[in-house]
Structure 1
Amino acid sequence: MQVTSDWSTKLFGCMEDEHTCLLGALCTPCLACSLARQLGESCCVVACVPGGVFALRTKLRMQQNIEGSICDDCLTLSCCCPFALCQMARELDNAEIGRL
């Protein structure tokens, strides 16, 4: 698969979507569960599987042909999890893959 693009929004661009920003800030697990469902996975992936949220980011990146690596995904989520989840939600919205 050819990787061709960057994320459609910046990592810290959470104010582009206030609803998602609030959800990410006030209930990060709820946002992670919503993302799992939008990507065709169970909430158990993020709730019960160690590294599940990393797998979701990698899955989204691969589906959307976004440049990056598994290492980038792990570092981004480890250091900035709520921001990364908000970025993923905006990416799905921009691609019109299931709405929050």
Structure 2
Amino acid sequence: MNQSISVQPQSRVYQQDASKWSTGICHCCRTCKQCCRSVWCFPCIACRTAQRHGECLCLPLVDICSIINPIAMSLRATTRERYSIQGDFCVDCLLAVFCCPCVYCQIQREIQHRQLPITLGDLVQRK
């Protein structure tokens, strides 16, 4: 009797325990200087955050020219993925559209809290 057994390769998902953001979206009181900068000079805070995130310094300028703010959405989503933070893309989208400066401040606070730079290479290696 010839029996053939075939096993299909399966993907493995390695997920650490999901954590929460170190600060809320509106916790500007902790970093008043940063929040004032985001209100009075939004391009400065956005570009600096993107640079600390490991992306091109000028990338957030796309957000200034659009209604949807795709870069803020993307940076928030990759920050959540990198640090295994709870949430979903719908919330990222809503926050980026209605409170873009707060999103950039929250991302910058999270990077500062974790003290780890996020790079695109890290995300590619994980997949």
Aligned residue in 1 for 2:100: 81
Cα displacement (A) at 1:48: 3.3
Aligned residue in 2 for 1:9: 23
Identify the match of residue 91 of structure 1 among 110, 114, 117: 110
User: Where do 1:33-48 residues align within 5 Å?
Assistant: 33-48=47-62
SS in 1 for 2:20: coil
Give the % identical residues.
Answer: 33
Normalised by the length of structure 2, the TM-score is 0.69
Aligned residue in 1 for 2:82: 63
Computed over aligned residues only, the root mean square deviation of the Cα atoms, in angstroms, reads 1.8
Normalised by the length of structure 1, the TM-score is 0.85
Contiguous gaps of at least 5 residues in structure 1: none
Task: Provide the C-alpha distance between the structure 1 equivalents of 2:108 and 2:62, rounded to a whole number of angstroms.
Answer: 20
Task: Provide the C-alpha distance between the structure 1 equivalents of 2:90 and 2:59, rounded to a whole number of angstroms.
Answer: 19
What count of residue pairs does the alignment treat as equivalent? 98
Runs of 4+ more than 4 Å apart: none
One-letter identity of the residue aligned with 1:90? R
User: In the alignment, is the contact (CA less than 8 A) between 1:20 and 1:89 conserved in 2?
Assistant: no
Q: Greater RCO between the two (CA within 8 Å, min separation 6)? A: 1
Identify the match of residue 44 of structure 2 among 18, 30, 33: 30
Structure having the larger proportion of residues in helix? 1
